[in-house]
Amino acid sequence: MSLEFDNVDTKVYSLDEFAVICNQLISDQTRCGNFIHFALTRAYHGIDSHQAILSPIQNVLDDHPVSIMQDYDLLLGLSPHIAFNNPITTYPAAKFEDTLSKNIHLKVPLVSEASSSQSVEMWGLHFTQDEQEVPLHTIPNLALGKCGECSLIWVFFPQLHSENCRSSKLTCEEQEKFYEQSTHP
Q: Report yes or no: 145 and 88 within 8 Å, Cβ to Cβ.
A: yes
- Is residue 146 pLDDT above 70, yes or no? yes
Q: What is the pLDDT of residue 114?
A: 45
Q: What is the distance between the alpha carbons of residues 89 and 29, in angstroms, rounded to a whole number?
A: 37
Within 10 angstroms of residue 10's Cβ, the number of other Cβ atoms is 11
How does pLDDT run across 96-106, given as a tens digit for each residue?
Answer: 888 888 888 88
Specify the higher pLDDT residue, 16 or 7.
Answer: 16
Residue 159: phi and psi, rounded to 5, are -70, -15
Q: Report yes or no: 12 and 56 within 8 Å, Cβ to Cβ.
A: no
Q: What is the pLDDT of residue 33?
A: 80
How does pLDDT run across 151-163, given as a tens digit for each residue?
Answer: 888 888 888 888 7
How does pLDDT run across 50-98, given as a tens digit for each residue?
Answer: 889 888 777 766 676 656 666 666 667 777 777 777 888 888 788 888 8
Q: What is the pLDDT of residue 69?
A: 64
pTM exceeds 0.85, yes or no = no
**Conformational region of residue 124, where left means phi above 0, alpha means psi within -120 to 50, and beta covers everything else:** left
Q: What is the pLDDT of residue 12?
A: 92
Within the chain, strands assigned E span 10-13, 43-44, 50-54, 88-90, 107-111, 119-122, 125-128, 131-135, 141-147, 151-156
